[in-house]
Structure 1
């Protein structure tokens, strides 16, 4: 849906822009005094500046997204509305999404929005765990990362690192009636919380099987990234479907601009999608 909206917005902006330019520099000077302006021309002159600003902001600067699920709990909750920095990983044209200018690349710990590799019409949001060339292991609910080895630097290759995670006190997050365990994880200098479900065993048989590696191990190909949800046992991510191609990247999540509380009792007569309140304390930067 987001792809279709971008295409429609671009085409309508171009159409109204052409009419606006023709009216300003060609038709208006030739029109006799007192002659009425066609409604299409008047409409284009009114809406084109607004559409142009929206197109520039949405295509090249920032785009709003809504968090639809709990896969990024506790960092992002269902009902959060975020701003995604579109230019963080490159400036793309709004029609075919080809990269025009390279402005940067994801780093470990970034929260990135990308097109789901198995269905590019769907937007996904996950945390970047592995960069091109990294070796990733997720074993017994413990994350291991070996950074890519630069053979040309003729230096000793980095060793496999256990990504430390310390349990925190309190049971604040739940899946159904089951409490989730909260941990503070340190991912190469990026500190953030993750969740683990003590009821859920590792789902290794369902992992994406990369040829030449063990079933719970992956080596990130060039031009790709490995992404995981912070709600580790309730996230369908790179462990299950593979890697995120660079061309699928949309941008980096940077700010929560609105957050609706969606908790509603099942006996309520109101639909589940109707918010029950605003979580003001969640507004701010995303980490």
Structure 2
């Protein structure tokens, strides 16, 4: 992979060198970062103050593409095919244009029309105008989704009642810094699978290194975060990081924190964590044998999970709904429910018999932090092996009690990136870090900001829109 990247860069530099020389500039100017961009502006007739935009995160990507497109226009590359070739395959077409005789520098006025002698060649048909408008709109939308903000819909009940199935969110890429594409060759607006035909919507023949532009902040405890599902790295998908399924959970612990869950209460570094205001704990509801009316359950947003005997039910609901339910005559008691420690549960992370943990009682777990060095032993290897092997791209084998990393016996390991612990607000109906462990920093997509639309498909047509949730900020 490293050799391929070097080869691509050499081809791009060689092509740029020749194109600069065709414009009467020294070829070495193409090799100097920043200065080469200034020369491109001069050659295409654009003002030098455009360089200012290159110092502003996110905007620098958009302006940089614009400068590059104007540069190739100065050599007569105006067609949609030529522009796309310059952007998508510069390591092929820059050398081609640089070394072929027919491609010549046309001057600063080329980017606005080839001068009068070439004006007829630039007359656009209505079909071309529409095509270019659509392509520009697609490019703009892709840049906005990649670097600014993206729409997301809640597909499951793991975050209820904080977020409901049918809530449409805007997710900010700016808060934590936009992640540049890792798999750049993909179909626009499709995540990992093409609609209808169900084939891959990307080509993983080219993978770029992980890089994140500067953001407004880092991930904080309590943030509602969209991230790529780490387990999609495994069979049957083996998806690249940025093409793994999008998940949304609340961050409970950040790098370096020690997390413990005792009787469904999260503790961070020994202190009780704040519970989500609209989170749904589990309750055992004891009745006189008569269950509440379904309309009341729906109004209180209560999920009946299972029934014990004739009078007892396990229900998921907010603390406010639990208080309201207690007031009904046919309800004898409402008691918060959690799973006691009862032995080894294989489904609970880290899936090892040394840890007798359950959904509501686990830990302590130290969340890995970049630069943190651990001693590898019977307790740390089950906890951190997946992060070392899968998320940090090491070849790992176990020989007896020893961990072999990249062919060498290792007694310690130093983490290369930060990790997070994510959990759903609907604690007894959420597949989260309690089942599959840590979320690597390179999997973070963005921060959920607000709900812009909310629909309830179960309700009748007149009541499908949840008007009270529209433009509600996520807390």
Q: Same fold by TM (over 0.5)?
A: yes
Residue 49 of structure 1: how far off its partner (Å): 3.4
Counterpart Cα distance in 1 of 2:154 and 2:473: 15
- The structure whose residues are more often helix, as a share, is 2
Match of 2:387 in 1: none
Match of 1:85 in 2: 172
Residue 45 of structure 1: how far off its partner (Å): 3.0
Task: Return the TM-score normalized by structure 2.
Answer: 0.44
Match of 2:443 in 1: 248
Match of 2:214 in 1: 101
* Other structure's SS at 1:89 match: coil
Residue 59 of structure 1: how far off its partner (Å): 1.2
Match of 2:434 in 1: 239
- The structure whose residues are more often strand, as a share, is 1
Match of 1:157 in 2: none
Match of 2:473 in 1: 285
- Aligned length in residues: 241
Q: CA distance change for structure 1 residues 183 and 164 in 2, over 3 Å: closer, same or farther? A: farther
Moved more, 233-242 or 100-109: 100-109
Query: Are residues 1:163 and 2:273 paired?
Result: yes
Residue 122 of structure 1: how far off its partner (Å): 0.4
Match of 2:302 in 1: 173
Counterpart Cα distance in 1 of 2:212 and 2:272: 35
Higher RCO (CA < 8 A, seq sep 6+): 1
Q: CA distance change for structure 1 residues 47 and 282 in 2, over 3 Å: closer, same or farther? A: same
Counterpart Cα distance in 2 of 1:79 and 1:197: 27
Match of 1:220 in 2: 367
Counterpart Cα distance in 1 of 2:341 and 2:428: 8
Query: RMSD between aligned alpha carbons?
Result: 3.8
Match of 1:123 in 2: 246
Counterpart Cα distance in 1 of 2:122 and 2:469: 56
* Higher alpha-carbon Rg: 2
Query: Are residues 1:134 and 2:257 paired?
Result: yes
Counterpart Cα distance in 2 of 1:125 and 1:64: 13
Residue 32 of structure 1: how far off its partner (Å): 5.7
* Other structure's SS at 2:247 match: strand
Task: Render the CA deviation track for 1:115-143: whole Å, top value 9, x for unaligned.
Answer: 01111420010000001111111132222
Alignment check: 8 A CA contact 2:113 2:119 kept: no
* Other structure's SS at 2:260 match: strand
Gap runs ≥5 in structure 2: 1-60, 79-109, 185-207, 233-240, 284-296, 307-313, 321-334, 370-417
Residue 264 of structure 1: how far off its partner (Å): 5.3
Task: Return the TM-score normalized by structure 1.
Answer: 0.70
Match of 1:72 in 2: 159
Match of 1:209 in 2: 350
Q: CA distance change for structure 1 residues 202 and 18 in 2, over 3 Å: closer, same or farther? A: farther
Counterpart Cα distance in 1 of 2:260 and 2:69: 54
Q: CA distance change for structure 1 residues 81 and 53 in 2, over 3 Å: closer, same or farther? A: same
Q: CA distance change for structure 1 residues 145 and 214 in 2, over 3 Å: closer, same or farther? A: farther
Counterpart Cα distance in 2 of 1:275 and 1:106: 39
Counterpart Cα distance in 2 of 1:252 and 1:282: 18
Residue 18 of structure 1: how far off its partner (Å): 5.3
Residue 38 of structure 1: how far off its partner (Å): 6.3
Alignment check: 8 A CA contact 2:113 2:122 kept: no
